[in-house]
Structure 1
């Protein structure tokens, strides 16, 4: 930024830098902004030099982080200046201060176009730079043809054509329709014959974007790309300016190989041979040197070449050469190179016939598992997991178990999950599998999901020969002084079912088994106590005739818990106590569990999905994933289907939701039938550190009517916690919790709305008064196109919505944007729904998603003082303008927590306004077409002794707005249970008296009026 001759600007910058603190800086900036505003009001007296100086000052102030909300017209007007200094300032500052949707940009489209098509190269560069920086749909539609002409013009200098290529790339990303693909493919092939490397790099960036969306029509570019690589590999006609540490234009090499990866395997033998010669030269000529900059450049080229070799499915000899080269990299000291070596070796696992070559480096990979850098440890873990098979499973799992005790907490969960999957998938015998899982629980119980020990129970139940061994191992682990609760669960279950098989072994009599388990009872949670009571009943069942002393001990435990506060424990204690008095009949009632149905393990099914995903992680997919959020926990929240047989507590079906061990055969308690909730798949994403959750509650099968919980809100559901509407096809399940995604978007303006294995729907929105503009991003995650794409809006009556046309087909690994315009007509809490459907091959998918266009999106916080609040409050008297309600069942929030909640909903809390410190006063402005801007006031009176109740008073000039606003706030405050409520015979408590303020005044208007 040239400051010569602008003394005022230099002095201002010097003053700002000399400020002692932030407050002084702010005062100096405010003073300067006031001066600039005054000067702009008297614009007639400003010379072009002065206007330029003040606009530079505005840019500097903006760069300091201050808002500059005026002077935009003066800035834009400089673009039309005839001289370069003023025009330069106009273009630069406009690029920084204005975004693509700013109205002022429309005023300069003609001026910018005249500069682009003019003959002044300096002005052309300025205009292309600004258009490329701002982008925008209007710029794309108006200027793209002129930019294309500049790019293909033979009379333009390379500097201009280079900027034109990058500008066209930005416009294409904003609006792909600006490039006519049918007529442009031949032009692109001609542009690749360019000798100037600067233009060629810019053109190659454009080609990468074009072939990512549609490669079919650009096949003519493939031979040209190979020729470019040959030219670079042989250093033919490469200017010194484009040679980086002896490497000919590494950026162009990387972009060219990246473009080739979007095409399927090349069949032409001549082109294929030439390309492999270049790749062979790159593989053979790359080594680690001392110069870090040269290493970075050469390795960028090398790893892109490796990705291209894998993509082209090269011969086995070249693949083995790649593995050997990566083996050298994972052994060097430089951590960045080791990381890249491990990552690319993991990607090599997708190639056939290289598994054995990778196994030769197993020792070095295991060494990397203990690297100080956690990112290298994670990559080593991924590689070990991917290369494991029946031949090396024992060695790898044993290494993981040894490393588990010293691994840091950030990786233990992933480590334990992968070890469990490998042990199950490649177990040479089931006893070894049981040993591995029990060791996992013993060494990392806090990081073990319940699904893992559920699976052990299934194996033991289904294999009679394994039962004595598993029971004996459980007995050994329970003898330890410190045992994790998960070990108590699995041990108690196994001993309850099979301890009678150990009766002749020392230390395994029923009394001793009961004693070792009962010692753990005081240390476990409520859910585990229920399982232990089940175990005690089983021990009594196996001890026939009963041991009187043991029977008395167990009966005493049952009697103790008959009056326990938890209904589940109480129910079990009562029923088991009654059943245990039946004598030999107990053997029939509490018989051993039958075998589980033979179905694929949920762990292995998830592992296979993970392996398929890993096999597809080509360089192309990795780049797509950088643009689309991933690594989200998959949570299957479908309730298990099936009827509930009388006399047996049944678990969900193994094939649908991985199940825990079934409970004893006995009378079905009402509590079991009423309180259990659908159990989510806690291993939704095997690699996610968020996958492990707390211990599940009791699990039973649900009738098919339970599916209604996915179809719409119920009386007990949070209106904002809205999941997918409609029943999902059983084969396609969403990734992540859709309800949580919806809730998050209700409070923020961008994020992921929905995701499944094939598509991700993101959303970005902005809100102004009663209008909103949203953009839906439909991203195809797949390698094949999504067809029959449809999106139908189901708007409520209070919203006027317009969705741009959604394309019928989303190309592979492409993303389309669908603008959605919203106008709020009146106050309502109804939520809009979008009916979205598509086909992936022959698989149809249909989901109905709730859009986060909710009440608080049309609120604008308004801070008020005593002088402004009370006149408004007193003017609104009684229903329907002012409504009051005593709300019970409130989430127990402290006053600061409640204030934070209100602020997140765009409702401004005014602290200290209410005379009672236990009360809260807030205000906001609601916008709709019917009411325009309407002031909404709220007062919340809390009871410090009982945070579960409060009194709320809401007021506004519009009765409908008052009611909807009150109900909306109530929904945010009231505690919504996540499971169906438990039927109880307890009498309904009498209504609480009205909450009173400390002064004894029950009318909030009178209380507030007393302040003035």
Structure 2
């Protein structure tokens, strides 16, 4: 190999790139000549020349010959030639190269042979390339090596990594069906090298189908216990005193793909390990040890958040992160801030995070801009009503010294926080004016448009806002945006400041006119409108002021800008007509209640800062094609807090659905004009339900009905469909699955041979968060996946992250945000469709966002219950109805039934032992927290009838809750179904408002739950 050493030395001695290229070209020509006379080459010479080709390739030069010689060395009988053949082939050739087909048989012979060295070489090359043909030909042999008890750990470790690469590249080819038991056996391995490689394989497997590997979950916990106790861990796998940190990280990551841990002993053991990790991690001087221990720690934090641990452990995590954000090492501070931002997803620890507010604010002044950005994200996420004032003031103070790269984001977030959590409107106006004054270039027009809307809609704020605008105009140099808002406010409301010399019309005109030479063309129309308004409010007329303003109008009548010219001409003509000017330039009418465009801008940044667990991060990589039907979200997942309204006491009759979400002010051709709200649109759901049926689809189209057997909807906001050719049948009864999910927060909503749709839900007050689990059960992708939410008018629903294609054996998650606006029993519908091969499947599924999900059980004592009961006297707040034809139930079973719907029975309150008294709290955006009371009177002589009385402070809520409880009681099946044939469809589909009776009721499942 002396020739190779000399060549490398000559390359290093080259003075410039041209010399190096000449030397490389000379050597390539020499190698090419020798390869043409291949018969005269010895294996040693061929090996030497192939090494030179690899070195030249690594220098960045193209090597377009000699590939066949490299591949031919794989079949050499001696190790040196075989080694260079495998190494050069894996570096020079990609998975689609034709020459690789020539080596498949040789590679397979090496894998199944007895020579362990050759096995390792072959496995390493296949693991590096991972082609489809390798996967089809070699997967069974690699799997046999992995589970073979006769192979050395080194070979099995390489087999696990090779199988991992093949599975990642070709999951549809690599058959892992039935591998759950084998993976569980591999996790019992004592050799940590094989165990680490097997854990990497398990992480990939559970990321696509975690349900099949539930048996591996307790084994993963045992591995963590073994490492945490440093039991049977060889010294070579201990890194700076930490037992195999890589294996710990991989194991915790695998556990994050399982939704929950059911076994209490396993869960207890896991939390003990996590507690040990949290307690035993601290910052030391050794950087390498810090890196390893923090890798384990932050993965443990992610697992704690994923498992929704108890508040005590969550608080301990926050306290540990609080130490990290105060250390000198910048990387540790960054990770502490980032993970504390993730902790904001956990509602119970937000108060604990607030204790570190001072240190987080200090991080805003860190020299590292990445740390400053993380601190800003964290402050933005942790802000609520209690600390909004302090945080916004700190952000305004920091704005003066902030980098220009951060000012735009900082300004937007400060404006959003001020609007979300303002204690009063005057403070909000102060904040926005300070924001414009300190960072005018970074403040968009949307921000000052919003201030104008608030001031216009609140009369007691108008004089205050005008006075503040007058103060800012006294400054010698202000930003043009400040000129715009000040001129507008003084023009509209300057007359409210009285006749003080500093606030007289002449003085207001003078101070505004001083700014005219400094502004751009887009601002002049606003100033002209202010002059006209000031002239209108000057009564009696001031001839001197009038002549000054007329002179300005005359000057701009010939302006080249059409907008300025038109305004000048019209204002001059109107001002000469006296009373006409008063009518046309009257005060702006109040703006309708609408959502701020600033909150829409914040959604993307909120999605970035509220990072998800491992499964959710994987789902976020999918492209969404779902229809977003609402864009209002709860703030930070915290308790319900109202955003600023345009008016202080908005009318409860305002139809939010019929309000345009565009801002009420827009700038067109430089002029500030009003945009009228869009006319109310027809109810989308009502229109859909009025349709007799969709067009008859092709024979390949499949529309599973509500009950999984028939195509007839049962009157719960489902679109009726006609008779169709059935190609794909749902597995199980869809209606029964829906009824079960009405009682619990997780389970399967729909399943057929191709896909399984599961749901996991979380409900807080009038906000709900559902996650749809879309799992592809086959080895081919599902394409043309589409999802559309058809929400009733009382729900605001936003669906996102629905991929157009679901990969084979993969599961994606699609979050769903729900806001309950008012009480109603209508049900939202998920219109879901996809294609598999020639089959097109369309399922219209009810979502379990029903009335009882927004109830919070409440048990009142007698001294609180009866005063409330007496205060709600008579219809419509208290309704009573005799319900007949119910199934006779013992009183305790009836009480359990009410409790299952979150209507809490209060025992011992009613003196009659045959009666039940219950209470609950209903949450919606219109009612907020509304107390609901119920009384059920039964007749011991006739259990088939009862009298029900429902009372609340809202008439609609009283009626809807009464009807809901009545439906559940009436629909209890008289006897459990014993027929084996499918249930017959009802004679006709009921309208959405009709109470549908069905034998497939939540109570059918309730008997088993109780």
> 1:188 and 2:183 equivalent?
yes
Indicate if the aligned counterparts of 2:71 and 2:99 stay in contact, CA closer than 8 A.
yes
CA contact (8 A) 1:310 1:348 kept: yes
42-51 or 396-405, which moves further after superposition?
42-51
Cα 1:702–1:386, aligned 2, differ >3 Å: closer, same or farther?
Answer: closer
Structure 2: any 5+ residue segments left out of the alignment? Answer: 632-656, 680-768, 777-781, 787-803, 815-839, 848-1010
State the alpha-carbon separation in 2 of the partners of residues 282 and 232 from structure 1.
Answer: 11
The equivalent residue for 2:772 is 784
- Equivalence for 1:394: 389
Q: Which of 1 and 2 has higher RCO (CA within 8 Å, sep 6+)?
A: 2
Structure-2 separation of matches of 1:152 and 1:146: 10
Shift of 1:607: 4.3
Q: How does 1:982-993 map to 2 (within 5 A)?
A: none
Alignment CA distance shift 1:332-1:252 (3 Å): same
Equivalent-residue separation in structure 2 for 1:228 and 1:198 (angstroms): 13
Map 1:816-855 to 2 at 5 A. none
CA contact (8 A) 1:783 1:812 kept: no
How far, CA to CA, are the matches of 2:345 and 2:149 in structure 1?
A: 45
Q: 2:360 touches 2:375 (CA, 8 Å); kept in 1? A: yes
**Using a 3 Å threshold, how does the CA distance of structure 1 residues 432 and 654 change in structure 2: closer, same or farther?**
farther
1:69 aligns with 2:64: yes
Structure 2 counterpart of 1:338: 333
- What CA distance in whole angstroms lies between the structure 2 residues aligned with 1:176 and 1:611? 34
Change (3 A) 1:537 1:837: farther
Q: 2:235 aligns with which of 230, 234, 240?
A: 240
- How much has 1:259 moved relative to structure 2? 0.6
SS at match of 1:812: strand
- Contact 2:666–2:673 (CA<8 Å) still a contact in 1? no
Rounded to whole Å, the distance in 2 between the matches of 1:15 and 1:628 is: 50
Instruction: Indicate which of 172, 195, 203 corresponds to 1:200.
Output: 195
Aligned partner of 2:550 among 531, 550, 555: 555
What's the CA shift string for 1:640-694, capped at 9, x where partnerless? xxxxxxxxxxxxx99655426368xxxxxxxx6xxx7xxxxxxxxxxxxxxxxxx
In the other structure, the counterpart of 2:469 is 474
| Partner SS state of residue 600, structure 1 | coil
Q: CA RMSD in A?
A: 3.2
Q: CA deviation at 1:425?
A: 0.9
Match of 2:486 in 1: 491
The verdict on how the C-alpha distance between 1:624 and 1:297 changes in structure 2, with shifts beyond 3 A counting, is farther
> Aligned pair in 2 of structure 1 residues 112, 256: CA closer, same or farther (>3 Å)?
same
Given that 2:501 and 2:507 are in contact with CA atoms closer than 8 Å, whether structure 1 keeps it comes out as: no
Give the whole-Å Cα distance in 2 for the aligned partners of 1:572 and 1:308: 63
Judge which range, 435-444 or 28-37, deviates more.
28-37
Q: Is structure 2 residue 649 aligned with structure 1 residue 661?
A: no
Residue 421 (structure 2) aligned to one of 422, 426, 438: 426
Rounded Cα–Cα distance in structure 2 between residues aligned with 1:408 and 1:513? 35
Asked whether the equivalents of residues 594 and 661 of structure 2 are also in contact (C-alpha less than 8 Å), the reply is no
Match of 1:39 in 2: 34
User: What are the superposed Cα offsets for residues 132-173 of structure 1, whole Å, 9 maximum, x if unpaired?
Assistant: 111222222222222111111111111111111111111111
Task: Determine the structure 1 residue equivalent to 2:535.
Answer: 540
Query: Which residue does 1:22 correspond to in 2?
Result: 17
In 1: Cα distance, 2:331 partner to 2:184 partner: 37
Structure 2 residue 283 is the aligned partner of structure 1 residue 288? yes
Counterpart of 2:104? 109
Q: Distance in 1 between matches of 2:476 and 2:623?
A: 45
Give the whole-Å Cα distance in 2 for the aligned partners of 1:697 and 1:492. 12
Following the alignment from structure 1 to structure 2, what is the Cα–Cα distance between the partners of residues 703 and 359?
42
1:786/1:483 CA distance change after superposition, 3 Å: farther
Residue 805 of structure 1, CA deviation: 9.1
Cα shift readout 1:770-789 (whole Å, capped 9, x = no counterpart): xxxxxxxxxxx995345896
Q: State the distance in 2 between where 1:838 and 1:289 align.
A: 58
What does the per-residue CA deviation read over 1:237-261, in whole Å, with 9 as the maximum and x for residues that have no partner? 1000100111100000011011101
Rounded Cα–Cα distance in structure 2 between residues aligned with 1:284 and 1:220: 29
* Change in CA separation of 1:380 and 1:448 when aligned onto 2, cut-off 3 Å: same
Asked whether 1:8 is paired with 2:12, we answer: no
Alignment of 1:508-657 (within 5 A): 508-607=503-602, 611=606, 614-615=609-610, 617-622=612-617, 656-657=660-661
Taking structure 1 as reference, are residues 805 and 367 closer, same or farther at Cα in structure 2, changes over 3 Å only? Answer: closer
Q: CA deviation at 1:577?
A: 2.6
CA–CA separation in structure 1 for the residues paired with 2:29 and 2:607? 62
> Contact between 1:140 and 1:171, CA under 8 Å: does it hold in 2?
yes
1:51-104 deviations in Å (ceiling 9; x for gaps): 211111111111111111222222222222222212211111111112222222
* Distance of aligned partners of 1:268 and 1:454 in 2 relative to their CA distance in 1, 3 Å threshold: same
Inter-partner Cα distance in structure 2 for 1:697 and 1:543:
22
Query: Aligned in 2, Cα 1:166/1:233: closer, same or farther, shift over 3 Å?
Result: same
Change (3 A) 1:183 1:786: closer
Helix, strand or coil at the partner of 1:784? strand
Contact 2:419–2:428 under 8 Å retained in 1: yes
Look up the match of 1:148.
143
Take 1:135 and 1:787, find their aligned partners in 2: how far apart are those partners?
25
Query: CA shift at 1:790, angstroms?
Result: 4.0
1:260 paired with 2:255, answer: yes
The 2-side partners of 1:301 and 1:276 are apart by 14
* Rounded Cα–Cα distance in structure 2 between residues aligned with 1:425 and 1:213: 39
- With over 3 angstroms needed to count, the CA separation of the structure-2 counterparts of 1:785 and 1:146, relative to structure 1, is same
1:698 deviation in Å?
7.8
Unaligned ranges ≥5, structure 1: 1-5, 638-652, 664-671, 677-694, 705-780, 794-803, 815-835, 844-1012
TM-score (norm 1): 0.64
For the 8 Å contact 1:474–1:491, the answer to whether it is kept is: yes
Q: Aligned-pair distance for 1:288? A: 1.4
**What whole-Å deviation, never above 9, does each CA across 1:919-954 have from its counterpart, x for those lacking one?**
xxxxxxxxxxxxxxxxxxxxxxxxxxxxxxxxxxxx
CA contact (8 A) 2:227 2:248 kept: yes
- Contact 1:350/1:615 (<8 A) preserved: yes
User: Distance between the aligned counterparts of 1:28 and 1:323, measured in 2?
Assistant: 61
Q: For 1:565-964, what aligned pairs fall within 5 Å after superposition?
A: 565-607=560-602, 611=606, 614-615=609-610, 617-622=612-617, 656-659=660-663, 661=665, 784-786=772-774, 790-791=783-784, 811-812=811-812
Q: Specify which of 71, 76, 80 is matched with residue 81 of structure 1.
A: 76
Task: Report how many aligned residue pairs link the two structures.
Answer: 683
Q: Is the 8 A contact 1:601 1:655 kept in 2?
A: no
Q: Indicate whether 1:409 and 2:413 are aligned.
A: no
What do residues 561-592 of structure 1 show as CA deviations (whole Å, max 9, x unaligned)? Answer: 22222222223223333333321111111211
- TM-score by length of structure 2 reads 0.64
**Structure-1 separation of matches of 2:558 and 2:540:** 29
Cα distance in 2 for partners of 1:127, 1:840 equals: 51
Report if aligned partners of 1:791, 1:806 keep a CA contact under 8 Å in 2. Answer: no
